[in-house]
Amino acid sequence: MKHEMTGVDVHCIVDELTSLVGAKVGKVYQHDEDLVRLTLAKGGRHNLLIQAGRRLHLTQHPPITPVAPQFAMLARKLIQGGRITSISQQGFDRLVMIGIERAGEQHTLVAELFARGNVLLLDEEGRIEASLRQFSYRERSLRTGRQYVLPPPQPDPRELDAAALQEVLRSSEADVVRTLATRAGLGGLYAEEVCALSGIDKHMSSSEAFESKEVLGALESAIAALLDRLEKKRRPHIVLERGERMDCVPVELVRYEKHERQYFDSFSHALDEFFLEQPPEPVEQRGLLERRLESQRRTLARYEEERQQALRKAEALYAHYMEVQRALEQLRASKSAEDIVVDVAPERGMAALLLDGMRVEVLLEQGIEQSAQRYYEQAKKLSRKIEGAKRAIAETERLMAESPRPKRKKGGFLAENIPKKQAWYERFRWFYSSDGFLVIGGRDADTNELIYEKYMEKRDLVLHAQAHGAPLTLIKTGGKDVPESTIHEAAVFAVSYSNVWKAGQYSGECYLVRPEQVSKTPESGEYIPKGSFVIRGRREYHTVPVAAAVGIEQKPLRLIAGPPSAVQKRAAIWFELEPGELMRDDMAKRIYRRLTEHMERGLAKKVAAPERISMALPPGGSRVRSEHLKGEGIFE
C-alpha cells in the first residue's frame, strides 16, 4: 500500500497546482506534528494540504481540529494575506517550492515530501523563518535563522538521453530495474513500467544491457513513451485490490491493467480520496515490517563487513609491500614464487596472495598501488551501498512507527516464577543466544579479569571489540559446534557493550579467537593494564551492527538483556534500543514506567527496578527503537 508520493507523482501534482498561482493566502493551520493546511482563495475557496515526508494536494475533506499551532502562528504572521507567485518542483525530487509575496516581501514555502521531510518558510535570501520540525543532519541544519540547504539532488529521467542512459547502465552493478529505479530517478514502480514497455527482462544485468544496442534502443524508447504519457495522457486513478486501496497513480500502467481502478477528474482529487481515512495496516503487517527490518540490518552489516575487509586488504598490500613486490617480480619472470602466492590466473592477469590470513588479489602487470586502489574503490562503492541501506532502514522504521500496536493488559507474570537464587553468570553481563548457548561478558576491568582467570575454558570461543572499554566476551560452547547465528549475536553483544555505543556509531568491529591465544604475559618492556589482555595469532574479524535490547523473561521471571534477536527469543516484553540522547538512568526509569503498565508495580520493582535496568543497558545514551509484547496474558 502506498504511503507517500513519488517523484513522478510530485511532477504531476505540481503541474496541476500551478493553476493556484495568483491565489490569496488565508489562514495556516497545523493539524498534527507533520500536517499543515493552507486556505487559499482564487475563483472560490481551496484547502492545500501538506504532510511532511508524504503528500501535497488539495483536499475536499479538511481536518477539523488543529493542534497547538506554533508553526502555523509564525506562518500566519509572515504570509497571511499574501499571494502565490510560483509553484515548482526542485528538479525531479520530492520537493516543492511555493513562492509567496506579501507586502513587497518574498517568501518561499518549502514542502519536503521525502522520508524525514519537513515544511519550512524561507525569506527572500533563503534563510529559515519558520520550520515545522527543527533538527540537523550531517549535511544541513533545519533550524530557524540558518540558511536553507537543499538536499542532494536525485537523478532526473527527463535529462536521460542515449549517452546518459549508456553511462548509467555501464557504471551499475545492479540489474536493469534497480538501476533505472535508483540511478535514472524513475523509482521502483516506473522502472518496472519501462521494463514492461520495452519487453526487457527486468532482472537482466545492467552490463549485459549496456552491451546490446537493441536493448539500449528499447529502453530509450520506453522511457520516452512513459514521459510522453505523463505529459499528454494522464488518467489519474486509485488502484484497488480486493476492494482495498493499494496505489494512486496519474497514468495507466501495465502493472495494474488487471486491477480494478477508480478514475478521478484530477490527480489532486484522486490523492485526496486515497489518503482519506486510509485504514491502518493489520497488526500482522508489523511482523512483516520487523522481518524486513531485520533483513535490512543484516544487509547493512554485510556491506559494512565487506567494506572493512576491502580496506584491510588494501592496507595489507602496503604493510607487506616488499614481500608483494618480490612475489610479483618472480611471477613476471616465470620463476618459483614466494610462499605467500596461493593462486595465479594469467588469463585474468591476476594472482592471489595470502596476507595477514586474507586472500588478496593483485594485478600481475601493474604496480601494488593500482591493486590497492581497486580495493579502495570497492570500499567506496560499498560506502554508497551502506548509505542506501541506512535510508531503507529509516523508511522501514517510519512505516513501523505508523503501524498499529496490539492492545495490552496486565497479567501473565507470577511472583512464584522469580528464581530463589541468582545464577553464577548473573554477576557478569550475559545472555542466552537464540541457539541456546550461554554468552558472558565482563562489566568492568575486575570482572574481565575474573572471567579470564576462573571461567574461560579451552573449548570456549572468545570475542573482543576493537574499542576501549569492551567486555571480554565468552561463548560457553560446552564442547558443541557453535552456529554462525550465535557467533553473530555474541559479536553484536561485544561491540554494543563497548564505547562504540557511547560514540553513537552504527556498527563496530570485533575479533574472535581461541582461549589459548589470550594471555596476561606482556612483551618485554610492556605493561598490561588490569582488565586488558594480549592476543597472539590469527584473529577472525566481524563487523556487526550496534543493537541491544532489554526485556522480561516469564519463566524464570527475571530481567534479561543482550542482542535483540536473542532477547526476543525468551522475553515476553522487550525494548529494542539504539544509541541516542537519553542517559542510562533516565532510560531505565522510562522502561520501568512502561513495564508497570504490563506488570503489577510491586512485582516489577522486584524483578526490574530502575537501578537493575540501568546496569543492563549499554554505556552512554540510548533511545527506544521499538517495543514488543508477546506471551500468555500480555496482549489481547
What per-residue confidence (pLDDT) applies to 279?
44
Looking at the structure of the chain, the number of domains it has is 4
Q: Are residues 274 and 304 in the same domain?
A: no
Question: pTM for this structure?
Answer: 0.48
Question: Between 284-319 and 368-402, two packed helices, what is the crossing angle to 10 degrees?
Answer: 160
- 267 & 138 share domain: yes
Q: Are residues 75 and 223 in the same domain?
A: no
410 found inside a domain: no
Q: Can you tell me whether residue 422 is helix, strand or coil?
A: coil
Same domain, residue pair 462 and 600: yes
Domain final residue pick, 368, 401, 434:
401
Same domain, 72 and 125: yes
Q: Are residues 67 and 127 in the same domain?
A: yes
pLDDT at 334: 76
Tell whether 492 is covered by a domain. yes
How many Cβ atoms sit within 10 Å of the Cβ of residue 270?
Answer: 22
Class of residue 1 by CB neighbours under 10 A (exposed 0-12, middle 13-18, buried 19+)? middle
Q: Based on the fold, state whether residues 41 and 141 are members of the same structural domain.
A: yes
Q: Is 635 contained in some domain? A: no
Indicate if 290 and 376 belong to the same structural domain: yes
Q: Is residue 445 part of a domain?
A: yes
Asked whether residue 539 falls in the same domain as residue 585, the answer is yes
In this structure, the answer to whether residues 128 and 178 fall within a common structural domain is no
Q: What is the pLDDT of residue 286?
A: 66
Domain boundary among 233, 249, 267: 233
Strands (E), 34-169: 35-41, 45-51, 55-58, 83-89, 95-102, 105-112, 119-122, 128-131, 135-136, 141-142
Residues in CB range of 419: below 8 A, 6 or more apart: 556, 557, 558
Residues 247 and 225 grouped into a single domain: no
Predicted confidence at residue 183, as pLDDT, reads 93
CATH of the domain at 221: 1.10.8
pLDDT by 10-residue block (mean), the chain, 636 residues? 88 97 96 90 96 95 71 94 98 97 97 91 96 75 90 92 94 93 92 95 94 94 96 95 89 94 96 74 60 87 92 93 90 76 87 90 91 94 92 85 56 80 93 96 92 93 88 94 95 94 88 93 78 88 94 94 94 92 88 87 90 93 85 37
User: Is the domain of 21 the same as that of 82?
Assistant: yes
Among 233, 267, 299, the domain-final residue is 233
Give a yes or no: residue 611 inside a domain: yes
C-alpha 3/C-alpha 275 separation (Å) is: 9
Q: Does some domain include residue 103?
A: yes
- The answer to whether residue 636 is domain-embedded is no
- Quote the pLDDT of residue 400: 78
Domain carrying residue 300: 286-401
What gap in Å lies between CA 486 and CA 476, rounded to an integer? Answer: 11
Which CATH number covers residue 48?
2.30.310.10
Structural domain includes residue 170: yes
